[in-house]
Structure 1
């Protein structure tokens, strides 16, 4: 399809959708937004597969029920939406009022009935997506206040959301798996998690082209998904090599959102 044909098809689609439809700004981070939206749909699919009576059962996060994970993901979308909205409107909207308020909100959310938690996740995800779509090109270069009060670039919020929804879909222990992650997500997670975990090992993803290993230390081989699962503290299945002693442990959720 030629460029002009693609442009014509895009214009025709927008005409059919009408003047009320929202679109991302031309300079929005398209790849990160796509990963966040696909991850939201993936989390929703896993969530929809959980019966209500399973919400009170343990998740894969130590000490966290599935209900608490769902509440965390829902309130995380609201928090990131506040960051984006603060840039869009100029209002001073902190990501969280305080650590105490955030903890109290999460405790309350974890106690909500399943129907309320499903609605929380769905409505919060839509709200965040609307904030992204309403942001101008200039807005994408702005910064709001992160959890600790330090500046948080709006352009970083789609990637933070992508990390959260994909990994926590696995934590629901309802059929989500790292092997389902798209290749571009796995590659970025592999690089980031290796740096964050601080594991002294030469990582060798067997399903990726390029150098046989990256990093220094004993060689650890496996598919990219298996390496990501290990580096995020979610298991060490199907890995080979001299696994280092400083194995990552499963962390509590990152609070980018």
Structure 2
């Protein structure tokens, strides 16, 4: 296991080293900003791939997600752990208000919030890697996985922005890491069909309820798209047309 990665109970590590994940997070954030800077105010108000949300909604969510991570990590360091958002109603209200801004304001918000978060992430190296942080009710992760959680947000919502970036464009090893992260998030859900997943990079995992498991196989990029509801699984073997829930 690489330094500062988090172990999974089934024996595989989640993500790369803290340095590797943070480096890729910066790279993928800059890629998102480089593509969205070309959008006009009108294009920002066009539909994203998320039902009911414009591109401006998605961008505002990505910025507020960064603020939420800053809030949670800062509170943890100060010994008063708090979740990312004060309430779901406040979160939705912030996103709705923010979605009405100009493209320039959205771009500044995305850039500034990402920069603030990256500086706060510097403090993770001084923490015990086994320290747990609760991001929302019932979902606790090792603090060293926060950069991976943020990388997931940046990549998936880049896809959602509908600017030509698809799961096929996610580089290795980012796609592999995000499949691992997604499996962690889906673990224990018995509302999913029983599956045995294997990827071309060698990852294997069981998912879903009890019963005979269907064999599902594909590249990390294809599995990421299917597991997160960003694709219909046309390039994944064994899905049988099953569409999984959309994950943020």
TM-score by length of 1: 0.73
Bigger Rg, structure 1 or 2: 1
Is there any run of 5+ residues in structure 2 with no aligned partner, and where?
1-16, 207-211
State the distance in 1 between where 2:140 and 2:246 align.
27
2:230 paired residue number: 234
- Aligned partner of 1:97 in structure 2 is 86
RMSD in angstroms over aligned alpha carbons?
Answer: 2.9
Aligned to 1:166: 155
For residue 95 of structure 1, report the CA deviation from its aligned partner.
Answer: 2.3
- Contact kept? 1:199, 1:248, Cα under 8 Å: no
Is 2:194 the counterpart of 1:200?
Answer: yes
* Mapped partners of 2:180, 2:81: distance in 1: 34
- For 1:35 and 1:44, locate their aligned partners in 2 and report how far apart those are by CA, in whole Å: 14
Q: Note the residue ranges of structure 1 that are not aligned, 5 or more in a row.
A: 1-27
Q: Output the CA distance in 1 between the equivalents of 2:180 and 2:105.
A: 36
**Partners in 2 of 1:30 and 1:124 — Cα distance?**
20
Change (3 A) 1:241 1:76: closer
Cα separation, partners in 2 of 1:140 and 1:97, compared to 1, 3 Å: same
Normalized per residue, which structure has more strand? 2
Paired with 1:47 and 1:199, the residues of 2 have a C-alpha distance of 37
Deviations 1:48-89 (A, max 9, x none): 232332111111111111100000000000110112222344
Partners of 2:220 and 2:83 lie apart in 1 by: 36
Match of 2:13 in 1: none
Distance in 2 separating the partners of 1:147 and 1:214: 25
Q: Specify the alignment match of 1:57 in structure 2.
A: 46
Relative CO higher for 1 or 2, CA cutoff 8 Å, sep ≥ 6?
1
Q: How do 1:123-202 and structure 2 match up within 5 A?
A: 123-135=112-124, 137-138=126-127, 142-143=131-132, 146-148=135-137, 153-194=142-183, 196=186, 198-202=192-196
**Partners of 1:218 and 1:241 within 8 A in 2:** no
Could you say which residue in structure 2 is the equivalent of 1:218? Answer: 214
Contact 1:170 1:178 in 2 (8 A): yes
Q: Spell out, residue by residue over 1:82-105, the C-alpha distance to the aligned partner (whole angstroms, 9 max, x if none).
A: 122223445666522222222211
Number of equivalent positions: 222
> Which residue, out of 106, 110, 119, partners 1:121?
110
TM-score, normalization by structure 2:
0.76
Secondary structure of 1:219's counterpart equals strand
